[in-house]
Chains A and B, each alone.
Chain A
């Protein structure tokens, strides 16, 4: 049974915007996907297992692998000594003498840090040998709490740095102090954002081969970029980037940013292959993934607003402390700087003060996790907006309405530099209220409350940045240091469209998809440009750094696909179209500009009857180059590199347009707290988006639902918990709780589309909005349910029943201890 969406549209140019079924699905549903652990490897490929530190902080006084090496099937053991000999420490984005190697050298700084790699004939044997490696650890005092770690007397992780605070930058835009001095009210909130993760169901996989003759390394992995890290890896391996060939298989089992953190293990496996003299394959297991892959950055924030009597915010002051774990690992401290330009959120606030400190603790290094920076910022900002309404006795909806960037003001330059490209926040709000049925929810709340029940309504308004400026991270440097280092900016996307000798169209893209359906969307986009059907387009999403067009920004992150990669594919297809028009114009007897591409045919606008098939027109270019018009090159293959014009390097006043586009989402959550158990029942959740032009609504809604489920998990159950001694308490899927179908309700989704003026198709990202909006929206609803008496700082994620009940008790002094 085919959906109507699958049928050919009446006129051309309308594949984009239809909820097409996915071309990816048949293979995946048949179990015939090719994920990294399914991809063929050379005979003789060995298996790796990783020995990890049981301690959070310790000096390694001795490693003896002799017993392990004598075990059956064991071929090599790699330790810090090998790593020191063959690699360099990873470069860091702040100038600090911190040495971070792919395996621990002399010291371990988090529980789960890789200490050695065993290479054996199979994984079972490799794991046997792990137990035989003798390591003597001298334990050192661990630092777990970020605030304590920032104190001068804290135990120091990196002696050469001399402090755990590795970056401390302050920023000032407008005149915030005057605004605070004049303000009728100051409203302040102190919040913490926990460590959590996207935990894709497929873990990391790396197959590395050291090539003889100085040819470098060949790596197959489910690493998903950003490809800027290719530079970090090749520098660590002391080879030119061209000698590190990175390949990705056809399919990937989710990433949510997390597989970015595979890069140190890619380097470790390259070393392992070199030492073992054979290709080495490592399949990260779930325990390794949880304890050692990466984590969202934990954050401690104090946020204060200068507010007028009407709830109008005139200035914001942020004090943020990021817990980046044991090493500042690339691209950190990007969790801060991705959001830097839009720290004023959806609001027209001209004055802003920011202090950003990065602190290291004895925890897994932080990195990309879907939403990257957004959940942390909006947990503070949107809790603050809720508090402004409570403290000033205003309807929270009025606080939004009075502070939103006005509808006619786009593109709007925010004080820290974001150029909000397009939007109509007030209109989205109204649509959201209708979608949620807010009047009905308020009636339900009144009824519930008069019956003594705990019912609350929460809201969240978030600006969702997409297509990250490669230069934003340099905002961490002072303008002087930046000038010395040279400017960085842009967000180059690449796509290649080729037409073959029978007129078949192949597209290659740089987006390293992790399951989002990029092949389907690209087929829709290119079909529109060439007057073909999506079924006619072959999209290759495998990646090979030796063969594909790519640049630093390539990869699957910052929701860059719809705006940047699909846009580049569109432009490349247009280029092919122009060339075909020139080639066919003569035969069609018209000017190239009058060649129409429709339904697989080319014809002159004035003569639809005299059509040439697309295949014929393209075939001529291959089989009869002599017929090409004067000046036309042979071959039909166009690669477009596109970068948004609006992404400049940070200026001398630390203003930076951190992303090319900014979507918007407004969420409404109504929930009830069960007084007996403290558990939360979501009564209704409505999420309303403006992501610019939507390329495939079914896939866009899929992104919303997936992000919502993860946001719900972050709100209610997900957390990486460390004991005071630094041991890890969330080391299995029985401890790190991910929501199941029983916990995830069905959100009501609505859209409004204000196309971006800055992307080729008018599209923006949509995949991260709910990771940003849902945690705080649920928290606001819980705060509302608990009533005005609740300590705002006590709303800490995840809001487990145990915590909620303690708050009910504290607020109502009802439950005896």
Chain B
């Protein structure tokens, strides 16, 4: 059992995009705020703070989840992946490139969360139908694109990965 009392600063340690990081925060701090403002991962966006818009989605211990619906202290010791970890050596991943190709973003505010969901989703569903992609995407709100390009990009990258024999860049 571990107790984090109110009003005090606590040490929280995570593996953030492959690197061990730590920061201090109150027990009540949301994981989204911790990632953005304490660790500087500003690619994690916040659009509603009640779990609907999906902008804050990150991958914790392998599964995509809302970082606004988690406390930072609860993530202590966990592996956290964000949009910052997708590109390698400044080269965009296949998924990111597909988003650019298909004009899957305009303002880009919803995009990091969608990329993280899609990363988890494609790992579990290498050959999704359009319907399945749309169902997964229904956990995100995009006000700019009408979703067309996003759906196309995800289906495209799934097909490309299958062509390349299932090895994944992500």
Q: Which residues of A contact B (CB under 8 A)?
A: 1, 3, 21-22, 24-26, 28-35, 37-38, 124, 198-203, 251-254, 256, 285-287, 514-517, 698-699, 701-702, 705-706, 708-710, 732-734, 738, 740-742, 744, 746-747
Contacts and interface: CB of A to CB of B under 8 A. Distances in A.
Contacts of B36: 37-38
A25 B108 contact: yes
Contact of B103 (A33, A34, A698, A747): A698
Q: Which 3 pairs show the lowest CB-CB distances between chains A and B? A: A31-B43, A515-B107, A253-B109
B143 A710 contact: yes
Nearest to B106: A515
B65 interface: no
A708 B137 CA distance: 18
B100 A31 contact: no
A29 B114 CA distance: 10
Contacts of B28: 124
A701 to B, nearest CB: 8
Interface centre among A28, A698, A708, A746 (most CB of B within 10 A): A28
B144 A706 contact: yes
A251 B108 contact: yes
A26 B100 contact: yes
Given A31-B82, A201-B109, A515-B109, A3 B145 contact: no
Contacts of A201: 45, 47, 53, 55, 107, 109-110, 141-143
Contacts of A34: 42
A26 B101 CA distance: 11
A286 B138 contact: no
A256 B143 CA distance: 9
A747 to B, nearest CB: 8
5 contacts: A24-B108, A702-B106, A705-B148, A741-B140, A741-B150
A26 B147 contact: no
Nearest to A33: B108
Interface stretch (B91-99, B120-128, B161-169): B91-99
A701 B149 CA distance: 10
A35 B83 CA distance: 15
Interface centre among B29, B103, B134 (most CB of A within 10 A): B103
Nearest to A289: B48
A254 B108 CA distance: 9
Nearest to B47: A201
Interface centre among B105, B133, B143 (most CB of A within 10 A): B143
A202 B107 contact: yes
Interface of A is mostly: loop
Contacts of A30: 43, 83-84, 86-87, 92, 96
A287 B145 CA distance: 23
Nearest to B85: A31
Nearest to B43: A31
B106 A31 contact: no
Contacts of B45: 35, 201-202, 253
Given A29-B111, A201-B110, A516-B106, 13 more contacts: A28-B105, A29-B99, A29-B115, A35-B45, A35-B109, A200-B107, A201-B47, A201-B109, A286-B53, A287-B50, A515-B107, A733-B50, A740-B147
Contacts of B48: 286, 732-733
A198 B151 CA distance: 22
A484 B140 CA distance: 52
Contacts of B49: 285-286
Given A21-B101, A515-B109, A200 B42 contact: no
B63 interface: no
B148 A746 contact: yes
Interface centre among B86, B109, B110 (most CB of A within 10 A): B109
B41 interface: yes
Nearest to A199: B143
Contacts of A285: 49
Given A253-B108, A733-B48, A741 B103 contact: no
A283 to B, nearest CB: 8
B147 A733 contact: no
A21 B101 CA distance: 6
Contacts of A516: 106
A686 B131 CA distance: 21
Contacts of A746: 148
B26 A251 contact: no
A714 B70 CA distance: 32
A31 to B, nearest CB: 2
B29 A28 contact: no
A698 B106 CA distance: 11
B50 A732 contact: yes
B92 A29 contact: yes
A740 B109 contact: no
B52 interface: yes
B48 to A, nearest CB: 4
A701 B101 CA distance: 14
A709 B147 contact: yes
A22 B42 contact: no
A476 to B, nearest CB: 31
A710 B46 CA distance: 21
Contacts of A744: 146-147
A34 B92 CA distance: 18
A22 B100 contact: yes
A287 B43 CA distance: 22
A740 B26 CA distance: 34
Contacts of A32: 43, 84
A286 B54 CA distance: 13
Contacts of A26: 92, 100
B111 A254 contact: no
Contacts of B134: 741-742
Contacts of B42: 31, 34-35, 37-38
Contacts of A286: 47-50, 53
A515 B149 CA distance: 15
Contacts of B133: 741
Given A31-B84, A32-B43, A732-B50, A742 B146 contact: no
Contacts of A740: 137-141, 147
Contacts of A709: 143, 145-147
Given A25-B100, A124-B29, A742 B43 contact: no
Nearest to B142: A201
A706 B143 contact: yes
A253 B145 CA distance: 12
Interface centre among A37, A198, A733 (most CB of B within 10 A): A733
Nearest to A742: B138
Contacts of A287: 50
Nearest to B84: A31
A516 B107 CA distance: 7
A623 B104 CA distance: 44
A124 B147 contact: no
Contact of A515 (B29, B52, B108): B108
B118 to A, nearest CB: 12
Contact of A200 (B99, B101, B111, B143): B143
Given A30-B96, A202-B45, A734 B107 contact: no
Contacts of B148: 705, 746
A221 to B, nearest CB: 16
A702 B138 contact: no
Given A29-B100, A203-B47, A732-B50, A738 B143 contact: yes
Interface centre among B49, B111, B144, B145 (most CB of A within 10 A): B144
B105 A254 contact: no
